[in-house]
Amino acid sequence: MSVVFTCAHCLIDGYDFSGQFTELLVNRSSESLDLSAMGSGTRKHKGGAKDASIAGKGHLNLGSSLLDPVLFSGMGLDATLVTAFVNGIPAVACSTTGGYGLSGVSVKYPLGASYGALLPFDFEAQSQSDLVHAVVLDNALSTAWSTDANTGTAIPLSTTGMSTDESLYGGFHITALSTALNSAGVSAIIEAASSSGFGASDTRITFSAKTCKGGQWATPIPSSALSTDQPYVRTVVTVATGTSSGNAANGLIWVGQQA
């Protein structure tokens, strides 16, 4: 199916900068190693290390806590969670395509233009992890998570359970939260179960509590720690009560499964 590229999204740690981007590029590549030797009739190549990046261009926003100060201060920082959706953010349980996430380092942020032009920016984050197909588990960018536990929809991540050669990945963006939260902040887990009813489940990924906007890349869970008969996953996001029972938080949490 052809896609008109008009509704891409880019989340960088605790910020959704989609409205400032005019271009978005998700790149996954592999080195090609030359193993040719004397006597070979043709040059021979072998696949090498994989590489990935997420890059974009757009119009600069100089406002406080907006694009410019965030990208400027984030230059060179390790473990920056970047998630891109190339055709809108899919509804939970409706689509497993179009989302890509990585833990990376911001390596480029040039800006400048000729007189009279809208001031552009250029951004690139290079991978410190594999590039993962990101499946949305819970999207609270518009409708906030409320106080206490917020249990997401159970989705079948695969039809066969966790593969014996695949790892489980996860990303957690917190884009807004109440200021009255205590140290318990906003935390989340990703659970797995054999059925959508989740009568019995196992916690596979735990995201630590945060009291400010940010992103978390979960340490990949190897196949040896997973169960091949648990194809269903869901998230539970907990917003601490703190000094108010009306606390809330916004964000997005995704999961991925691949070799």
Q: CA 67, 73, 75: angle at the middle one, nearest 5?
A: 100
pLDDT of residue 92: 78
CA 77 to chain centre: 16
Q: Is 114 left (phi over 0), alpha (psi -120 to 50) or beta?
A: beta
pLDDT of residue 2: 75
Q: What is the pLDDT confidence band of residue 190, given thresholds at 50, 70 and 90?
A: very high
pLDDT of residue 221: 92
Average pLDDT over residues 204-226: 92
pLDDT of residue 102: 96
Average pLDDT over residues 21-49: 92
Average pLDDT over residues 135-156: 92
pTM of the shown model: 0.90
Return the CA Rg of the chain. Answer: 20
Q: Give, in order, the Cα–Cα distances in Å from 36 to each of 40, 47, 50.
A: 6, 13, 20
More reliable by pLDDT, 181 or 154: 154
Per-residue model confidence as pLDDT tens digits over 100-130: 999 999 999 998 889 999 999 999 999 999 9
Question: Is 130 in contact with 258 (CB distance < 8 Å)?
Answer: yes
Report the relative pairing of strands 99-108 and 186-193 from DSSP bridges: unpaired
More reliable by pLDDT, 27 or 179: 27
Average pLDDT over residues 65-77: 88
Q: Which residue has the tokens 């009255």?
A: 180
Q: Which residue has the tokens 């990303």?
A: 171
Per-residue model confidence as pLDDT tens digits over 57-68: 999 888 777 888
pLDDT at 84 over 80: yes
Measured CA to CA, the distance from residue 79 to residue 129 in angstroms comes to 9
Report the relative pairing of strands 99-108 and 80-85 from DSSP bridges: antiparallel
Give all domains of the chain, ordered by start, each with its CATH number: 9-32+44-132 (2.40.30), 135-258 (2.60.120)
pLDDT at 136 over 90: yes
Q: Sign (positive/negative) of CA torsion 212, 86, 106, 166?
A: positive
pLDDT at 95 over 80: no
pLDDT of residue 139: 94
For residue 108, the surrounding DSSP H or E stretch is: strand 99-108
Measured CA to CA, the distance from residue 100 to residue 86 in angstroms comes to 8
DSSP 8-state secondary structure symbol assigned to residue 78: S
Q: CA 163, 165, 166: angle at the middle one, nearest 5?
A: 70
pLDDT of residue 4: 84
Query: How long a stretch of residues is the chain?
Result: 259
Average pLDDT, the chain: 89
**Residue 19 dihedral angles phi and psi, to the nearest 5°:** -70, -10
